[in-house]
């Protein structure tokens, strides 16, 4: 999903010096052994919560969990009565950029990694890259402990045909597509994303070269249909069914029709043709990534998105004005599109499909990292999933897709201590995901408020 309307161009702003990014500045506590006592554990598997548990963290890993554990003598004990421990969120459609003007995107990696972590995201995939090397360098800096942030699966720059974006390369042909994959994989990219104007030949070359290297490919499609991409062996498709052009009447080969989203907004989720496409995707083991917040931010009658106060004033005002303009708008398709997409995602999972979670901080703005990730899980519950099902989609499903589920994705002894601590019980009231108390990333306990305060009012600059 990319800019759908022109947002106000940033006014003249002073270039701000970034505050020190030493991860130690954001720690709530610093101890090699921590015992979280009297905690409610929602383990990410979809199982019901376990009450009054003790979780022992030692040297970055979960050493033990149980209801009758005594904290080790060398542990820093933290009483979590009334609070919940969950796996850190594993989100599969995130970006390190944000719309700062018409078809222009500010590169905001330093502020965004802090916001993602503050919102409980401990692993993410950057599903599309407009900078080139920044996402790869951020992934390395976090991995080396030089920056506070989630572990990053760094996607290479978009693989697209001719397009209107100033920050995006246009592939020449299938051989060029293969060269781009090889080049960025050699630089350290760990996944790839195809975009709307790629041809079938180019996409096939991308998939073949990436798979040859043991890497995965996702896509926001248009010129290529979902069924065509599935036949090629694509691993994942973005935005649920919103980017599918399989149902556009008279669609031309390798051509992106204008009415793609409109065709999904008007489709009946019970149509047998929809069921056949779902079965094709499921049989081919193609995952879908849900990105409901970016569509909610475009739909009339929806609440103001959370987190706007961290943006620079110009960006916050731009989205607030856009949100006001939606009131009473009877021409936009996005209200119907959001409702239909929710129903399609629920049906896809009921049929046996794998759904992943993401946010996509693009569109008209209003999708703020960290805040929007909790909102995505809220919207999944609105779509009909139970809270623990939504939590599983946003944790274990993502970890499995990335091949990281042996280390992250559930609260389990022996795994890395990537944990989210919330006040309340998101296993019953999913909105409690917004009330983050602590975030553990590889056993380091971060204070979400410090992370947020360090960027508040500067998001849009760096």
pLDDT of residue 381: 98
Q: Is the pLDDT of residue 8 over 70?
A: no
Average pLDDT over residues 22-42: 96
CA–CA dist 328, 301 (Å, integer): 8
Give the max Cα distance, the chain: 70
Residues 6+ apart with CB under 8 A from 24: 30
Task: Kindly tell me if the per-residue pLDDT of 18 is higher than 80.
Answer: no
Hey, how many other C-beta atoms are within 10 angstroms of the C-beta on 21?
16
Q: How far apart are the first and last CA of the chain?
A: 22
Measuring CA to CA, which residue among 88, 114, 119, 37 is closest to residue 372? 119
219-246 burial: b if 16+ Cβ within 10 Å, else e: bbbbbbbbebbbebebbbbbbbbbbbbb
Nearby residues of 17 by Cβ (< 8 Å), 6 or more positions away: none
Q: What is the pLDDT of residue 164?
A: 86
Given the structure tokens 């360098």, which residue do they identify?
A: 137
Look-up of token digits 């006001």: 324
Q: What is the mean pLDDT of residues 401-409?
A: 98
- What six digits make up the tokens of 423? 């006040």
Q: How far is CA 301 from CA 52, 297, 324, 341, 377, in A?
A: 40, 10, 10, 17, 19
- For residue 19, pLDDT beyond 60: no
Question: What's the pLDDT band for 49 if we cut at 50, 70, 90?
Answer: very high
CA nearest neighbour of 343 among 434, 242, 421 = 242
**CB under 8 A, 24+ apart: contacts of 136-142:** 136/187, 136/188, 136/189, 138/96, 138/109, 138/113, 139/188, 139/190, 140/188, 142/113
DSSP codes of every residue in 396-422: HHHHHHHT-TTTSSS--TTSB--EEEE
429: confidence class by pLDDT, cuts 50, 70, 90: very high
The confidence band for 46, taking pLDDT boundaries of 50, 70 and 90, is very high
Region 36-46: mean pLDDT is 98
Task: Read off the pLDDT of each residue in 171-188 and give the average, rounded to a whole number.
Answer: 98
pLDDT at 20: 57
* pLDDT tens readout for residues 64-92: 999 989 999 999 999 999 999 999 999 99
Decide if 98 contacts 307 (C-beta within 8 A): no
Asked if residues 4 and 364 have their Cβ atoms less than 8 Å apart, the reply is yes
Q: Span 9-28, mean pLDDT?
A: 62
Dihedral (Cα; 168, 173, 175, 178), 10-degree rounding: 40
Helix (H) or strand (E) holding 387: helix 387-393
Between vectors from CA 368 to CA 115 and to CA 44, what angle results, nearest 5°?
65
The pLDDT tens digits of the residues spanning 361-401 come to 999 999 999 999 999 999 999 999 999 999 999 999 999 99
Q: What whole-number percentage of the chain has pLDDT above 90?
A: 92
Domains of the chain: 1-14+24-462 (3.20.20.140)
**pLDDT (tens digit per residue) in 238-250:** 999 999 999 999 9
Residues 355, 392: Cα–Cα separation, whole Å: 10
Of 337, 243, 177, 171, residue with least CA distance to 2: 243
Helical packing angle, 334-350 and 371-382, nearest 10°: 70
Q: Is the confidence at residue 141, as pLDDT, over 70?
A: yes
Q: Mean per-residue pLDDT for 445-458?
A: 97
Q: Which of 370, 395, 299, 307 has its CA nearest to residue 338? A: 299
Number of DSSP helices (H) and strands (E) in the chain, helices first: 14, 19
Determine if residue 451 is left, alpha or beta; phi over 0 gives left, psi from -120 to 50 gives alpha, anything else beta: alpha
Q: CA-to-CA distance for 167 and 158, rounded, in angstroms? A: 10
Q: What is the DSSP code (8-state) at residue 271?
A: -
- CA–CA separation, 206 vs 128, rounded Å? 14
Average pLDDT, the chain: 94
**Digit-coded pLDDT (tens) for 323-352:** 999 998 989 999 999 999 999 999 999 999
Task: Kindly state the average pLDDT of the residues 201-220.
Answer: 98
Answer whether 199's CB lies under 8 Å from 255's CB: no
């Amino acid at each position: 999903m990319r800019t759908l309307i022109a947002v106000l161009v940033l006014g003249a702003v002073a270039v701000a010096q970034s505050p020190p990014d030493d991860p130690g500045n954001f720690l709530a506590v610093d101890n090699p052994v921590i015992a979280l006592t009297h905690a409610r554990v929602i383990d990410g598997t979809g199982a019901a919560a376990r009450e009054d548990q003790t979780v022992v963290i030692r040297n970055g890993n979960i050493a033990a969990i149980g209801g009758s554990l005594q904290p080790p003598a060398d542990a820093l004990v933290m009483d979590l009565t009334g609070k919940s421990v969950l796996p850190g969120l594993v989100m599969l459609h995130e970006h390190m950029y944000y719309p700062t003007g018409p078809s222009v995107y500010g590169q905001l990696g330093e502020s965004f990694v802090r916001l993602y972590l503050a919102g409980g995201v401990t692993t993410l995939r950057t599903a599309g890259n407009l900078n080139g090397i920044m996402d790869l360098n951020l992934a390395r800096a976090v991995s080396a402990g030089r920056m506070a942030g989630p572990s990053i699966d760094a996607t290479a720059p978009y693989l697209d045909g001719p397009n209107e974006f100033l920050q995006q390369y246009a592939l020449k042909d299938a051989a060029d597509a293969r060269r781009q994959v090889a080049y960025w994989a050699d630089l350290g990219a760990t996944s790839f994303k195809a975009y709307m104007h790629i041809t079938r030949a180019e996409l096939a070359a991308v998939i073949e070269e990436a798979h040859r290297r043991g890497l995965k490919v996702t896509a926001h499609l248009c010129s290529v249909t979902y069924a065509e991409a599935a036949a090629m062996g694509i691993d994942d498709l973005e935005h649920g069914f919103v980017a599918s052009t399989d149902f556009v009447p008279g669609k031309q080969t390798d051509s992106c029709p204008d009415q793609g989203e409109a065709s999904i907004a008007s489709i009946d989720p019970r149509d047998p043709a929809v069921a056949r496409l779902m079965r094709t995707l499921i049989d081919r083991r193609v995952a879908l990534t849900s990105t409901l917040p970016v569509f909610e931010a475009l739909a009339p009658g929806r609440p103001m998105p959370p987190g706007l106060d961290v943006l620079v004033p110009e960006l916050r005002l731009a989205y607030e004005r856009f949100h006001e303009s939606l009131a009473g708008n009877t021409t936009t398709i996005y209200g119907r599109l959001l409702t239909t997409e929710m129903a399609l995602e629920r049906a896809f999972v009921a049929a046996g499909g794998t759904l992943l979670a993401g946010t996509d901080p693009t569109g008209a703005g209003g999708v703020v990292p960290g805040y929007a990730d909790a909102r995505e899980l809220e919207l999944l519950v609105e779509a009909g999933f139970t809270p623990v099902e939504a939590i599983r989609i946003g944790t274990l499903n993502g970890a499995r897709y990335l091949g990281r589920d042996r280390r992250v994705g559930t609260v389990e002894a022996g795994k890395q201590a990537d944990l989210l601590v919330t006040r309340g019980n998101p296993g019953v009231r999913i909105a409690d995901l917004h009330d983050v108390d602590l975030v553990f990333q590889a056993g380091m306990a971060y204070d979400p408020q410090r992370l947020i305060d360090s960027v508040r009012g500067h998001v849009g600059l760096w």
